[in-house]
Every structure is written in C-alpha cells, then in structure tokens.
Amino acid sequence: MQFEEKDISYPPVHPGTDRTFIRFYSGCPDLNSIYYNEDSQNQPKRIFVTDTNVASIPAIKPFIENFRAENYAIPKIQAGLIAKRGKDVLLVIGSGETFKTIESVLSICKAAIDSNAERSAIFVGIGGGVITDLTAFAASIFKRGARCELIPTTLLSIVDAAIGGKTGCDFDDYKNMIGSFFPAQKIHIIPSFIQSLPQNEYRSGLAEVVKTAMLYSSPLFEKLCANPKILTERNSSLVEEMIKICVNAKAKVVEQDLTEKNIRMHLNLGHTFGHALESRAGLGVITHGDAVAWGIVRAAELSNRLGICNHDYLEKVRNAISLFGWETSAIHPVLKGKFANDDDLAHSLLDAMKKDKKNSSSKIKFVLQSDIENTLVTEVEDKNILEVLK
C-alpha cells in the first residue's frame, strides 16, 4: 500500500492541567474563607459537588448552609439538591460507590449547563474518592475541558484517590471503566477532617498509608509499626506527618508517570488480590482498604514463593498488617461459607482477577516487592497465584 503522510503537532490539550498546586492546611480552616474572600468577586463560576454524607459533617455544614435552594436556606440535605450562592452552584449527590455512575457525571454537567457555566468554570469536588473522581471527570468532559479543584475529605482520598489526575466512574459492573487523566489545578489538603471519620473509613485509608510507606518510605513504615495506636487514637501530628509523606510520595510518582505507563503501576501493590476479594465478598461487604491490606500479604506470600523476597520480609509484612488488625490468612473470613471448598474459593478469586484485567494478556500482572522500597511488576502463572489463595 502506498501513501503519503503529513504529521501535525499540537500544544498540550487543556492548558491549566499541566501542574497542580497542593495546599496543606493546619487546624480546621473554614471552606468559606478558602472560596469566599476579598478576591471571590473576580473568580470564575464554581460548580461545587459533594454528597449527602459529606454535606452533613460539622466541618462542611457551615459552607453548605450559605447556599440557597430556590431562594430558601437549605432545609434538608438530599441527593439531587441544587443550590446557589451568587453565581456559584452546589450539587449534592448520593453517597457511596453505587452513585459512581455515568448518570452522576451527567448530573454534574447538567448543573453546570443549567447555570450557564463557561469552559472557564471551576468544578470543585468536596468528598471522598467517589466525589473527587466524578467531579474531575465531569470537569474533563464539560465543554471539552473546564477546570477542577479538589477537597478530599477521607484519608483514602487525601493520600491516594485525589492525587494524580485519575478521574472516572464505574460502568457495566467494572470499576473505573470510563474516565480520563485530568489533573486538578488545586488540591486542598485538610488533615483535621480525619478526626471525624468513621473508624472503618479511617482504617481503610490507613491501609493505603501503610502501602505507600512500604513502597516509598521505610522510616514511615517503621514509625507506623512502632505506633499502632495511630489506629485508635489518631494523634494529629502523626496523622499530619503521614499525610504529608504519602501525598509527597504520590506527587513525585505521578509527576514522572501521570498516565501509568511504568512506575505508577507500583501504587497497585495489594490491589489485584484486594479487588478480587472486594468483588467476591460483594459490594460494600469489606472496605477497599481492608481488602488491600489482605492483598498486600497475599502479594508478599507470592513474592516469597517466587523467590523474589525472603522469608524475613514476608514476616515483616505479615506482622505489620496484623498489628493493625487486618486479616492475614489466605482464606479471608468474609468468604467463609460462600464456596463449596477452598479450591473453588481460590479459583473464584483467580477468575475475578482475570475479569478485572480482561484486556491484558492471559497471565496476570502483579506488583511485588523484594524488600521495602524495592518494587517490581511481573506476570505470574495461575498455579502460583492459586497456591497463595488456599
């Protein structure tokens, strides 16, 4: 076949998404003073997005109450609520993974369209990973790319989900199947939010902290292991310190590999096993972090069996995970009684992993460690995977 080829090149798409300012706050800053100060008259329109849970928490409520729904102060926080404050708009959507849908993304776009937002509008997501992912996705497709700022409110979204420009929603039973890379222009980190999180949500985020420490900070890992009370007491200076270390570590990774071509994959340590457990346990039965913590031990077992890490490192990982009360045995209690035997259970988890990775080659890729801060990605034979699942 003969052809002539001409190539044309472009400046980067979406100016403004080429850098992110991450602001670390101390104390309990009022969101009103972040967004409504002497400069707010000159700001573009803001589309604030949050969920029913977050809108009701004491640190956020004073901000929400300044909006008006149809000329009345907000009487009741409910999903679908749209309220206004000057030219700005607030949209409250339902809380939880079941709302991580394309319909929610479209409802954010509709709130923006109905308020005559321009491409210069700023979409501000205030909430956990579901809200930050949905809001940033809506910003990325609204008029082919508006602007985005995030205020993550859970430990998991502060140290992981909100950092690094991954946006999206679930689709057709697959998590995060639709989405884009669209970094926020600003991320506001407010560690004091952590103090009022429900314990299961806090513990879920702590698993991502432990994961990040294993990947990038041996000193943080040792410190957490020496202070297991961080699970129950939430010492605010240690919470602030761990948040800063994790955010900075992730920022460094995504700066080098925003679109997950190489080192960003390491952030999935424990996630291949963890996602399979989440899927087989059923939606909402186990938190993401509890599943990832269990997955981290399975990954260490696999690494040891493949001769990648020694027994001492495997034991170190196992001890750290059990120190925080996470499950370390091959058969997780949430799956007990769900399968005829252990062999069926292991095969079902393997099937879930294959489904999760349905577009890659037949062998499943794992993030494994030879030691702390020593990470690699490798394909593994099914038989080796099955061995660490029973």
Q: Which of residues 247-276 bind ligand GLY (CB under 6 A)?
A: 260, 264, 267
Identify which of residues 208 and 301 has a Cβ nearer to ligand GLY in the complex.
208
Cα separation, 76 vs 55, in Å, equals 10
Cα separation, 138 vs 220, in Å, equals 35
Identify which of residues 25 and 181 has a Cβ nearer to ligand GLY in the complex.
181
Q: Which of residues 161-200 bind ligand GLY (CB under 6 A)?
A: 164, 166
Q: Considering the complex, what minimum distance in angstroms separates the CB of residue 92 from ligand GLY?
A: 25
The angle formed by the CA atoms of residues 248, 253 and 256, to the nearest 5 degrees, is 125
The strand pair at 21-24 and 166-171 is best described as: unpaired
Instruction: List the structure tokens of 170.
Output: 């679930």
Query: Residue 242 forms beta bridges with which residues?
Result: none
Identify which of residues 64 and 267 has a Cβ nearer to ligand GLY in the complex.
267
Identify which of residues 239 and 267 has a Cβ nearer to ligand GLY in the complex.
267
Cα separation, 83 vs 48, in Å, equals 10
Q: 357 Cβ partners below 8 Å, 6+ apart?
A: 272, 364, 365
Q: Considering the complex, what minimum distance in angstroms separates the CB of residue 326 from ligand GLY?
A: 18
Q: Considering the complex, what minimum distance in angstroms separates the CB of residue 71 from ligand GLY?
A: 41
Q: 59: which DSSP letter?
A: T
The strand pair at 374-380 and 364-371 is best described as: antiparallel
Identify which of residues 160 and 301 has a Cβ nearer to ligand GLY in the complex.
160
Cα separation, 84 vs 71, in Å, equals 8
Q: Write the interaction track for ligand GLY spanning residues 127-166; mark x where CB under 6 A is met and - where it is not.
A: ---------------------------------x---x-x
Contact status: 365 vs ligand GLY (CB under 6 A): no
Residues constituting the chain: 390
Identify which of residues 155 and 346 has a Cβ nearer to ligand GLY in the complex.
155
Q: Considering the complex, what minimum distance in angstroms separates the CB of residue 260 from ligand GLY?
A: 6
Q: Considering the complex, what minimum distance in angstroms separates the CB of residue 246 from ligand GLY?
A: 12
Interface with ligand GLY (CB under 6 A): 160, 164, 166, 260, 264, 267
